[in-house]
């Protein structure tokens, strides 16, 4: 299992890659599979603001692109004082692959940590059944 120290080092390395010239709110997310593989993502903004994509969705799509749908945890890193929770759209996207996922969010600046079950953040996610 990856240590918190390794996660922080990975997130610190990736944070400059977040492309957030409009909001200046940089986010790194890392999807961890059940077998412990890590797939990162950063937020990528666009001058047509609505085209922006959150770091969490980039991380999930990175895992799926690499053949891994068994997402177990999503780590989130921001530079805010308090850890942030994922937006509603990202909650639904994570639930597509694992409604039982765990979300772990850290502040890179204060080291504070919060953890939720995805089910707490998005009870009754949409599905077609
Ligand atoms: N953002 C994320 O990457 N993840 C979230 O959970 C919430 C928001 C991004 C989108 C946008 O680039 C910036 O943060 C401000 O909303």
pLDDT digit string, tens, across residues 49-72: 999 999 999 999 999 999 999 999
Write down the catalytic residue from 4, 56, 79, 100: 56
Question: Running DSSP on this structure, what letter comes out for residue 100?
Answer: T
In a domain, 111, yes or no: yes
In a domain, 19, yes or no: yes
In a domain, 42, yes or no: yes
129 — pLDDT class (breaks 50, 70, 90): confident
Domain containing residue 39: CATH number: 3.40.140.10
Residue burial 66-98, b: 16+ Cβ < 10 Å; e: rest: eebeebbbbbbbbbbeebbebeeebbbbbbebb
- Its pTM stands at 0.98
Q: Is-catalytic flag, 56?
A: yes
Please give the residue range of the domain that contains residue 42.
4-121
Are β-strands 71-78 and 113-117 bridged in parallel, bridged antiparallel, or unpaired? unpaired
Is the predicted pLDDT of residue 1 greater than 90, yes or no? Answer: no
Q: Structural domain tally of the chain?
A: 1
User: Ligand 1: residues within 6 Å at CB?
Assistant: 20, 23, 25, 27, 43, 45, 52, 54-56, 86-87, 90
Pocket test for ligand 1, best of 15, 28, 43 (most atoms within 8 A of CB): 43
In a domain, 60, yes or no: yes
In a domain, 114, yes or no: yes
CB 30 within 8 A of CB 10: yes
In a domain, 72, yes or no: yes
Taking only the tens place, the pLDDT of each residue in 82-108 is 999 999 999 999 999 999 999 999 999
Cross-strand partners of 106: 77, 113
């Amino acid at each position: 299992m990856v240590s918190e120290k390794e996660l922080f080092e990975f997130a610190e390395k990736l944070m400059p890659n977040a492309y957030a010239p409009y909001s200046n709110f940089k986010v790194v997310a890392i999807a961890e599979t059940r077998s412990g593989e890590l797939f990162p993502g950063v937020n990528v903004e666009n001058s047509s603001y609505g085209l922006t994509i959150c770091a969490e969705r980039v991380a999930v799509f990175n895992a799926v692109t690499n053949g891994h749908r068994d997402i177990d945890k999503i780590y989130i890193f921001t530079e805010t004082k308090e850890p942030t929770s994922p937006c509603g759209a990202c909650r639904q996207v994570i639930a597509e692959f694992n409604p039982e996922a765990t979300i772990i969010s850290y502040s890179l600046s204060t080291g504070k940590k919060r953890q939720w079950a995805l089910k707490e953040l998005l009870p009754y996610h949409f599905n077609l059944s």
